[in-house]
Amino acid sequence: MPDQFEHYITKNIKAFYKRRLLTPILYLIFLLVLWFVLSLSAPLFPDTLDAPDTLESTYRRHEEYISATLSDLKFTGYTQSFLGHIIGYYYYTMRNDECIIVLLSPNTSEQGLPEIPQVSVRAKILHGSENFDELLNHLASDLNWTENGIHNKVSQYVLSEPDYNLLGNTLLYVVFFATGGYALICIVFFILYICFPILSPACQDLALFGNPKKLLEQAEDELATLPQLATEDMFITEHFFIETSVYGNAIVPIDEIIWIYKYSTLHKFFWYHFSISYTLHISANRHLYIQCPKNIKSDIDGIMDYLAEANHNILVGFSEANRLKVQEIQGTPMHFEKFIAFLKKRV
């Protein structure tokens, strides 16, 4: 039996972070797949529209976002509006014997200059839509051309600067890089905790009460010589309360505990109640707050009774009087302690 608890806390800390390591790795893989499938790099790093390339050939290569330098643009007299505001001015220009339509933003076109000798833009290549067909029909009428004639002369692809819309994708990129960065940080920290368990939050909490390395070694030694009380994932040794569950790890000196109580949770599916689980809440000195969720009532009652017997100063049970006493001792509102505990669970 003693061999079973040899370095038991350290082993469970490593196992805990090995399990948690999978989620951020899978999420990063998902982001990478999303990056390539949706070509999310294209707006950030647009391809250059080379001289020999036509809009159609570039579009068919799935290079929709491009940067280009255009010359001798002439205003068509038509604009594009959205919700009553002009968002673009239509120009036409010749490019390699191909007449193309270019939609420029109000700033680039300076609110519709009649002619623009040269301009460098970042734009998106769009295939002609119903609005584009309507534009060509109006141009045909203005030039006394037939509709078939102008459709044969003008490219069916449009260069649209407003549709490049890098600013509109900003929120997507912020979410993408922020969540990806968080996942990467989690991976780094989880690997660090696996290699060096003493750096994990559960062990570093011991620094509130002394040297964490020495306290961890003491807890390991006491647990290895058999705990005085044990449940499936909670243990009491001579000087420590220890939790080693799938929800987290905790090591608390019994002398530092000031309040314990249990909280019940009713689990149901629609109207069917199928189980009740209990969470042990522990408040210790130095604003240390621990939750041990999803236990059975008999286990938690046994732990609470033993802790109350081992330390007669512990407040037992949830009540307003106990809450106020703890708040007076801790000097901070209890909800703040719970928030800090929640953040620690996430790391």
Q: In the predicted model, what is the mean pLDDT of residues 251-276?
A: 83
Please provide the average confidence, as pLDDT, over all residues in the chain.
Answer: 86
pLDDT at 237 over 80: yes
Sequence-separated contacts (24+) of 338-341 with Cβ below 8 Å:
338/289, 340/287, 340/289, 341/289, 341/290, 341/291
Higher pLDDT, 105 or 265: 105
CB < 8 Å & 24+ apart, contacts of 249-252: 249/9, 249/12, 249/13, 249/16, 249/200, 249/202, 250/202, 250/205, 250/282, 250/290, 250/292, 251/9, 251/202, 251/203, 251/205, 251/206, 251/215, 251/216, 251/219, 252/205, 252/282, 252/284, 252/288, 252/290
pLDDT of residue 339 exceeding 80: no
Query: pLDDT for 221-230, tens place per residue?
Result: 999 988 899 9
> pLDDT tens across 10-53, in order?
999 999 999 999 999 999 999 999 988 877 887 888 888 887 78
Least confident range of 44-53, 161-170, 243-252, 292-301: 161-170
**Residue 337 in this model has a pLDDT that exceeds 60:** no
The model's pTM is 0.75
Q: What is the mean pLDDT of residues 269-286?
A: 81
CA distance 233 to 302: 13
Mean pLDDT of 50-61: 83
Give the pLDDT score at 1.
46
Integer CA distances (angstroms), 285 to 250, 318, 327, 347, in order: 14, 17, 11, 22
Ranges of beta strands (E only) in the chain are 47-48, 65-82, 85-95, 98-104, 115-127, 154-160, 229-230, 234-236, 240-245, 248-253, 257-269, 272-284, 288-295, 315-316
